A and B are shown apart, each in its own frame.
Chain A
Amino acid sequence: MKNQRMFILSGLLPALLLVLVFTYYPFFKGIVMAFQEYKLFDLRNVHFVGLDNFKAAFKDPKFLMALKNSGYWVFCSLILQFTFGLILALMMKKQFKGRGIYQGFAFYSWALSGFLIGMIWKWMFNSQIGVINDLLLKFGIIHERIGFLSDPKWAMVSNIVANVWYGVAFFAIMLLAALQSVPSELYEAAEMDGAASWRKLMNVTLPYIMPTIIATTLLRAIWIFNDPSIIYGLTNGGPAGSTHILSSLMLDKIIYGGDYGAASAIGIIMMVILLLYTIFFLTVTKAEKVGDF
């Protein structure tokens, strides 16, 4: 028996080591750094400073702005991604000629890196040489160029548009898979009861795929919250820090300030937020038996 246990342990060892070294070590190191003055410029003078990094964060208007933006960014991106993803999935559920190819094109955005998407949209949104302004002008929809990335009113919206474009494919893929698992008998029964297509959607389709919907939206919210790549590529938090979210602000602290202490403090705050969110997530999933898909 003991032998058996040793055998199991030795079998798990490589995987355990990998996780320990590459997940938990950086994680704990990050926690430690959040309480230290840890600046790249001065690595010989690393020392503990207690809660200073956290206090500085909450005093920083940029941080508070980023906190607010994070909420806005996650909420708007998620709702729009989900809505368009669902519409796309419903449209692709029906068989039509060339569906496979069409699917490939529709899901293409999901295969791109966020940073690249940021770069591409940056050129499209450019108000002087960008294609979006050009088209809007030519169609007579606007008469003056819009500074999509230079006007703080628009900059966050532009980021969200790019993010929605990116994330729609994810929902379309997941929801389409769920839709295809809805048994056709249910629809037949609904038709016999005289249900129109709207009723079928609300009373048959959506309830049936609800577990998938909950699981994907909750997961996706975490990803959107954590992912700075589109913002980093598109506006890099500008103009005047108006489009930073927490994760892009954290990157900013590292790349431009070399301040790992301040960045780690933001990281810890993000973790606390996500922890609260996860508790919420687990409560909801327990109630709805998500994970059955």
Chain B
Amino acid sequence: MASRKKLLATLLTGAVTVGLMAGCGNNSNDSTSSNANANAGASDEKIKLRMIESLTSPNRTKLIQTSIDKFEAANPNIEVEFISPPFDQADNKIRTMLGAKEDIDILEVRDLNVAEMVNNGFVEPLNQYADKWADFGSVTAVAKSVGSVGDKIYFIPNGLYERQLFYRADWFKDLGLTPPKTWDELYETAKKLTDPAKNRFGFSFRGGSGSTGTTDAMILAFNGENVNLEDSMFTKDGASIYSTPEGKAAMELYLKLYKDASPPDSINWGFQEQVQAFTSGVTGMLLQDPDVIQSLTEKMQEGTWATAPLQTGPGGKALLAAGGAGWGIAANSEHKEAAWKLIEFLSSPAENTQFSKDFGLIPVHASAAEDEFFKTGPYKTLLDMSNQPDTFVNYKPAFQYPGNAQWGQVAMESTQALLLGQTNLDDTLKKWDQYWVDEKAKLKK
């Protein structure tokens, strides 16, 4: 009896051990069998694609899944497994999966990490596929540039983000104000809107995570024509944009904007607080991307808000960068042809335009601008901006520098110290200048 129990227990532990190892290990059998039909996209063999997104939000995941369902219906031999990690951990998870050589075919690459992905050899250049794609011609130059590192394109953006001004149309009307065209006007207007006794402030300031969206935008606009558009942290003379008198003037205005026209608490605000303050009637002006349009429409009454183009610097230029994420193919994918087929489908003018409408993005195809939807309402200013490329100049953000990943954090903390009066402006700018000079030296090595 006892020995039987013993035998049973031994068997059981054996089973658990094997199960444990199988669970942790790679299912290598699987990949060898799929290896055999890697190039047989047209055969009857069923292909399974694994796709992972990065900018996860429930609404967006649903929209993408709908498109995938359509694709699967049209391509019965391809099955897509769509993985949606929570937004906060998504990029880390994708990195880890790629680093561990897990089977991933399609991944959402972002403008801010594409250089890192390329550097680590995680993503495949898409030029050979895109060249054969009939609709590639209508993809806008901006969208192509967002997805490229050097002369190779690594992801097809699924929509673009671009900053514009959202303002309280009703407050402006009451005070007889017009939307500001320059940063100086923005400051003056914000000051007029500010009344701390009524808990009203002109500007939805963001001093927490993402603060560089304002500081860098102002410094770039003030440096204006002088900025090297391909290497935007530096001027055409090769000095950093933080070392110029224009850069200093921009930051002086920035400090005034915080002290005179923004909620004091906003020194540590991030995206949510910034938007919430605008929708709940604390602030009168907000600089944001089109993805907030949905929540503004939901939370605010029609007619109380409107949009205007981004502000220009003293030289009459506003520098803006379209940002975005999109679909790329993992370098060690075994189903690259099938993966491209799905990317081509998702990036087609019909799918992409619909997705952009539903989620609040700028479509990547030039043909979508003909759509009535983007010609009216809050999107109109974005279109207006792209129709004046001399005033609203596109630049390439410094995504090629490894240090760019940490720049947001470094700049945020020193900006907060500056706003709190713990450091002075000259020291701060010197520190920023040094940061980018060092980065450039490292890149040259």
A residues within 8 Å of B by Cβ?
7, 10-11, 13-14, 17-18, 21, 39-44, 62, 122, 126-129, 145, 147, 149-150, 152, 155, 235-236, 238-241, 252, 254-259
Contacts and interface: CB of A to CB of B under 8 A. Distances in A.
B422 A44 contact: no
B405 A41 contact: yes
B6 A7 contact: yes
Interface stretch (B273-281, B289-297, B365-373): B273-281
A41 B119 contact: yes
Given A11-B13, A129-B277, A239-B267, A258 B416 contact: no
A114 to B, nearest CB: 14
20 contacts: A10-B14, A11-B13, A14-B13, A17-B21, A40-B116, A41-B115, A42-B119, A42-B402, A44-B120, A122-B273, A127-B263, A128-B266, A129-B276, A129-B280, A129-B282, A147-B265, A236-B209, A240-B420, A241-B417, A257-B406
Contacts of B37: none
Contact of B422 (A41, A129, A240, A252): A240
Given A11-B9, A13-B17, A39-B402, A257 B409 contact: yes
A14 B409 contact: no
Contact of A10 (B10, B121, B266): B10
B32 interface: no
- The residue in B209, B268, B405 that gathers the most chain A C-beta atoms within 10 A of its C-beta is B268
A110 B258 CA distance: 38
Contacts of B99: 43
Nearest to A259: B406
Given A10-B14, A41-B405, A240 B416 contact: yes
B20 interface: yes
B208 interface: yes
A43 B199 contact: no
Contacts of B119: 41-42, 44
Interface residues of B, number: 47
A238 B9 contact: no
A240 B417 contact: yes
B107 to A, nearest CB: 15
B74 interface: no
B39 interface: no
Query: Which 10 A/B pairs are nearest by Cβ-Cβ distance?
Result: A127-B265, A240-B416, A240-B417, A256-B409, A41-B402, A14-B16, A239-B416, A150-B267, A257-B406, A238-B268
A42 B408 CA distance: 19
Given A18-B20, A255-B92, A240 B405 contact: no
A238 B405 contact: no
B277 A43 contact: no
Nearest to B11: A10
A238 B416 contact: yes
B264 interface: yes
Given A128-B282, A145-B265, A152 B420 contact: yes
Contacts of A122: 273
Contacts of B277: 128-129
Nearest to A12: B13
Nearest to B417: A240
Given A129-B277, A152-B420, 12 more contacts: A7-B9, A10-B13, A21-B24, A41-B115, A42-B120, A44-B120, A127-B263, A147-B264, A147-B267, A238-B208, A241-B413, A257-B405
B20 A150 contact: no
Interface of B: 6, 9-10, 13-14, 16-17, 20-21, 24, 92, 95, 99, 115-116, 119-121, 199, 201, 207-209, 263-268, 273, 276-277, 280, 282, 402, 405-406, 408-409, 412-414, 416-417, 419-420, 422
A43 B120 contact: yes
A127 B264 contact: yes
Contacts of B265: 126-128, 145, 147, 149-150
A122 B422 CA distance: 24
B224 to A, nearest CB: 30
A191 B265 CA distance: 55
Contact of A150 (B264, B405, B406, B412): B264
A128 B199 contact: yes
A36 B65 CA distance: 41
Contacts of A145: 199, 264-265
Contacts of B120: 41-44
Contacts of A254: 92
Nearest to A152: B420
Given A18-B20, A40-B116, A129-B282, A256 B264 contact: no
A128 B422 CA distance: 23
A14 B20 contact: yes
A145 B120 CA distance: 49
Nearest to B280: A129
Contact of A126 (B21, B95, B273): B273
A281 to B, nearest CB: 33
B97 to A, nearest CB: 13
A42 B276 CA distance: 37
A7 B10 contact: yes
A229 B20 CA distance: 30
Contacts of B121: 44
Contacts of A240: 413-414, 416-417, 420, 422
A257 B92 CA distance: 11
Contacts of A40: 95, 116
Nearest to B89: A255
Given A7-B6, A128-B277, A256 B268 contact: no
User: Which has the most chain B C-beta neighbours within 10 Å: A43, A126, A150, A258?
Assistant: A150
Given A11-B9, A238-B416, A256 B207 contact: no
B132 to A, nearest CB: 31
A82 to B, nearest CB: 30
Contacts of B199: 128, 145
A239 B20 contact: no
Contacts of A10: 10, 13-14
B273 to A, nearest CB: 6
Contacts of A149: 265, 268
Contacts of A235: 268
B268 A239 contact: yes
A113 B214 CA distance: 32
B13 A13 contact: yes
Nearest to A22: B24
B405 A258 contact: yes
